């Protein structure tokens, strides 16, 4: 058959296929794509015509097909499970067991008190110590964490941003006192503060001084720690907060460019540090798009680095990444389905060419992972490495019409968004203006509306639901016991140290922060070596830099506009109208984030949706104590307080909140809560006085209807008391 006849035959077949898929095309093109990608039911060679990323091999600029020529055929990705809880000893035992079971690298989760730069004895962290990570107050804790783990042979990744100076310093000294020179340490410190202001909120200082800390760490590690990655630029938390893939790509890479710019302005040559930068992406359930995202990320980074900084070393153009399967995709309902979700996501990450991977445990929508669930998550990776044939060839999806077209779309759309941020003056300015945070919250709210209305199917949540209630054994942390242990250890360390030397070292840090001179990491290493605490270093810096206070905004008219079936919302509107008719007032909801948990996606979605339904919504400040939340709610004359809990502090913080309401004669204010709360804790919270509990997967409209009915019933029962209290007569 001639070349022409082949082409004619192909064209006829294609025409028939297009006709056959016309109906499907209309259906698919009518589907809302939150990633802003154009998805067709059929792809052909014509869909590669505008792809300008195809002409390269693995290991060649712009590294679309992978940063190394041999990729997994030479060495598979690193199995790096993120873990940490309770005391350093308990986390150490967990690490050793995981390493013996096939894990190849360590990724440390620190508790929220540590993230926010508070020692465990601080009054603001009573519900946070040891709960969502390991508590680290001094070098002694860090030494316990890695006892018996040779730091010259083990790559260690640490997710730390706010208190990055004392934590990295403690790691360096732990290695030093293990006999490992600083230059021999390998691993990664996240050190990505810009994304904290966008989504995760575990910041301490304002953006500008935070950027000074980032650049000081880059400068120090470039000369003193050649095997260590000075920063892990994270898109993971953006996707977890609701960002679509274009936003995750663009905002993450724009963050990276801002860090390179900051280091460059400090006088560092780009080739001195850029090869040690690393990235961190989330991998969700959109299988092909997630695979294409990693290919697009490598291409975009190489192009933008070349354009803005023109490095001489090709390694400065190379994007290397760690990935983690999505926590937001996990469900409380039918939690064993999460094993399947994680496997799909892990496959997408590896086909996309990640350098290391964490796979989530199936019970993480309920509580901290158990030994059993962590084993399944780890073995998921080992099975993919050894049984699925993934390591047999490099970039096996290359040339797929669909994947290459998706890659091209992601490159183009993310590039346009990066251009917009560059034109704004860079990511620091964009963050200060609230642009990325606002855009992510819009997408997150819209996504939730699509799920709640059934437009986006989640198996076991809004379709294919079962009555099976498999009891999941969850890990329980005795928060009070951990805190008591840590407080005793802080006292012991302080009793043995040279307090005058510590004070002098802290004064040096303070002066450097004030003048802009000297390297803050080098000075902090000296202070921590003398046994200063994490809290003391953070407090010293905050005297000069202050503690940053974020501004809460509520996006409007997103949830109800995106909701597929408007009739489903009518009962909510009617209930709100009934309340207004009986009280001549709108129901008022106060949204509280208690303790040091800054993850506010759920709270922001609730705020936006309830406001659309007719509530007056008051968004409390992040990091409130129970007493502060109670006082603020009372001053705003609210009817109900909604507490969002994701960090396992609910059994401590929520009863305290209710007790403060009682002490202030405000028992008529209802308290509801939602988030990651194991069902085994429900009775405890109900007995403490909680009115309603909404677990993960609860449709927001259902939560709004239940809440409004409860508020209405509560008003009918207590309105005389409430009127007296508001008038000052109670």
Tokens of 87: 């005391």
| Secondary-structure breakdown of the chain: helix, strand, coil percentages, each rounded to the nearest 5 | 55, 10, 35
- Catalytic residues, by residue number, are 82, 236-237, 593, 597, 599
The confidence score (pLDDT) of residue 554 equals: 83
Kindly report, residue by residue over 266-325, the tens digit of the pLDDT: 899 999 999 999 999 999 999 999 999 999 999 999 999 999 999 999 999 999 999 999
Q: Are 326 and 338 in contact (CB under 8 A)?
A: no
CATH of the domain at 235: 3.20.20.240
Q: Is residue 182 part of a domain?
A: yes
Q: Is residue 168 part of a domain?
A: yes
Closest among 285, 282, 396, 295 to 51, alpha carbons compared: 295
Q: Is residue 481 part of a domain?
A: no
* CA gap 436, 431 in Å, rounded: 6
Half-sphere exposure of 704 (CA within 13 A, CB side): 34
Number of compact structural domains in the chain = 2
Query: Quick one: how far is CA 419 from the chain centroid?
Result: 24
The confidence score (pLDDT) of residue 679 equals: 84
CATH of the domain at 595: 3.40.50.280
Residue length of the chain:
730
Q: Is residue 446 part of a domain?
A: no
* CA gap 125, 123 in Å, rounded: 6
The confidence score (pLDDT) of residue 722 equals: 55
The confidence score (pLDDT) of residue 229 equals: 92
The DSSP code sequence of 433-478 is: TTHHHHHHHHHHHHHHHHHHTTSS--BTTTBS----------B---
Q: Which position has the token pair 């998921």?
A: 380
The confidence score (pLDDT) of residue 188 equals: 92
Q: Is residue 550 part of a domain?
A: no
The confidence score (pLDDT) of residue 371 equals: 83
* CA gap 604, 320 in Å, rounded: 32
Kindly report, residue by residue over 467-502, the tens digit of the pLDDT: 766 677 777 777 789 999 999 999 999 999 999 999
Q: Is residue 23 part of a domain?
A: no
Query: Which of 405, 426, 447 represents a domain boundary (last residue)?
Result: 426
Task: Kindly give the parts of the chain with pLDDT less than 70.
Answer: 1-32, 468-470, 647-648, 719-730
Query: Which of 426, 458, 477 represents a domain boundary (last residue)?
Result: 426
Q: What is the pTM for the complete model shown?
A: 0.89
Tokens of 91: 């986390």
Q: Is residue 243 part of a domain?
A: yes
Closest among 326, 322, 375, 363 to 80, alpha carbons compared: 322
Beta partners for 361? none
Q: Which domain holds residue 123?
A: 71-426
Query: 711-720 — which CB contacts under 8 Å span 24+ positions?
Result: 711/579, 711/587, 711/639, 711/640, 711/670, 712/575, 712/578, 712/579, 712/582, 714/639, 714/668, 714/670, 715/579, 715/582, 715/583, 715/639, 716/582, 718/668, 719/583
Same domain? For 569 and 421 the reply is no
Beta partners for 619? 591
Q: Is residue 222 part of a domain?
A: yes
Same domain? For 420 and 569 the reply is no
Beta strands in 86-217 (DSSP E): 105-109, 156-159, 187-189
Query: Which of 374, 391, 426 represents a domain boundary (last residue)?
Result: 426
Which residue intervals of 131-244 are DSSP H helices? 139-145, 164-176, 194-195, 207-224, 236-240
Tokens of 601: 């996606």
């Amino acid at each position: 058959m001639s070349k022409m006849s082949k082409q004619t035959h192909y064209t006829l077949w294609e025409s028939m296929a297009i006709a056959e898929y016309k109906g499907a095309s209309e259906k698919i093109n009518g589907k809302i794509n939150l990633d802003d990608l154009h998805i067709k039911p059929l792809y052909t060679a014509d869909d590669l015509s505008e792809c300008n990323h195809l002409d390269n091999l693995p290991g060649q600029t712009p590294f679309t097909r992978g940063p190394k020529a041999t990729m997994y055929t030479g060495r598979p990705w690193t199995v790096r499970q993120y873990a940490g809880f309770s005391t350093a000893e308990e986390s150490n035992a967990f690490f050793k067991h995981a390493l013996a079971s096939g894990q190849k690298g360590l990724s440390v989760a620190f508790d929220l008190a540590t993230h926010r730069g508070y020692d465990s004895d601080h009054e603001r962290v009573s519900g946070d110590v040891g709960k969502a990570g390991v508590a680290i107050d001094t070098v002694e804790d860090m030494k316990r964490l890695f006892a018996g783990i040779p730091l010259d042979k083990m790559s260690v990744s640490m997710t730390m941003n706010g208190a990055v100076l004392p934590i990295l310093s403690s790691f360096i000294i732990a290695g030093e006192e293990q006999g490992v020179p600083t230059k021999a340490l390998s691993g990664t410190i996240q050190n990505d503060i810009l994304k904290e202001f966008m989504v995760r909120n575990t910041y301490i200082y304002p953006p500008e001084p935070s950027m000074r800390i980032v650049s000081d760490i880059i400068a120090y590690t470039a000369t003193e720690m050649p095997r260590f990655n000075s920063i892990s630029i994270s898109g993971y938390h953006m996707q977890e907060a609701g960002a679509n893939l274009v936003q995750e790509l663009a905002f993450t890479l724009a963050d990276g460019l801002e860090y390179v710019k900051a280091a460059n302005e400090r006088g560092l040559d780009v080739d001195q540090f850029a090869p040690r930068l690393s990235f961190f992406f989330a991998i969700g359930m959109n299988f092909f798009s997630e695979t294409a995202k990693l290919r697009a990320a490598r291409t975009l980074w190489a192009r933008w680095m070349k354009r803005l900084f023109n490095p001489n070393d090709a390694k400065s153009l190379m994007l290397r990444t760690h990935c983690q399967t999505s926590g937001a995709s996990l469900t409380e309902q039918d939690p064993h389905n999460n094993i399947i979700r994680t496997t799909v996501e892990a496959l997408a990450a590896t086909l996309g060419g990640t350098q290391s991977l964490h796979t989530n445990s199936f019970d993480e929508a309920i509580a901290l992972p158990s030994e059993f669930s962590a084993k399944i998550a780890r073995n998921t990776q080992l099975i993919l490495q050894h049984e699925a044939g993934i390591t047999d060839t490099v970039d096996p999806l290359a040339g797929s019409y669909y994947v290459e077209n998706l890659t091209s779309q992601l490159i183009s759309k993310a590039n346009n968004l990066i251009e917009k941020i560059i034109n704004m003056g860079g990511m620091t300015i964009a963050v200060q203006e609230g642009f990325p945070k606002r855009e992510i919250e819009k997408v997150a709210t819209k996504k939730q509306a699509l799920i709640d209305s059934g437009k986006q199917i989640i198996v076991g949540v809004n379709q294919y639901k079962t009555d099976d209630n498999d009891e999941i054994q969850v890990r329980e942390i005795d928060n009070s016991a951990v805190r008591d242990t840590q407080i005793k250890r802080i006292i012991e360390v302080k009793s043995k140290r040279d307090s005058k030397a510590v004070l002098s070292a802290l004064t040096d840090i303070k002066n450097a922060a004030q003048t802009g001179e000297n390297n803050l990491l080098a000075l902090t290493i000296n202070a921590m070596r003398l046994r200063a605490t994490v809290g003391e270093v953070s407090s010293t810096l905050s005297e000069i830099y202050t503690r940053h206070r974020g501004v809460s905004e509520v996006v409007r008219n997103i949830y109800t506009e995106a909701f597929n079936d408007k009739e489903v919302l009518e009962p909510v509107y009617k209930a709100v109208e009934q309340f207004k008719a009986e009280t001549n007032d709108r129901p008022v909801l106060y949204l509280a984030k208690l303790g040091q948990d800054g993850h506010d996606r759920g709270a922001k979605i609730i705020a936006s949706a309830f406001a659309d339904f007719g509530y007056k919504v008051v968004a409390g400040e992040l990091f409130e104590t129970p007493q502060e939340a109670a006082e603020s709610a009372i001053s705003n004359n609210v009817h109900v307080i909604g507490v969002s809990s994701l960090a396992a502090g609910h059994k401590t913080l929520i009863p305290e909140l209710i007790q403060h309401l009682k002490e202030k004669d405000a028992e008529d204010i209802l308290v509801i809560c939602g988030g990651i709360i194991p069902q085994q804790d429900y009775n405890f919270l109900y007995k403490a006085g909680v009115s309603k509990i909404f677990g993960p997967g609860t449709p927001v409209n259902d939560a709004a209807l239940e809440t409004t009915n409860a508020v209405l019933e509560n008003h009918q029962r207590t309105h005389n008391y409430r009127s007296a209290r508001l008038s000052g007569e109670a």
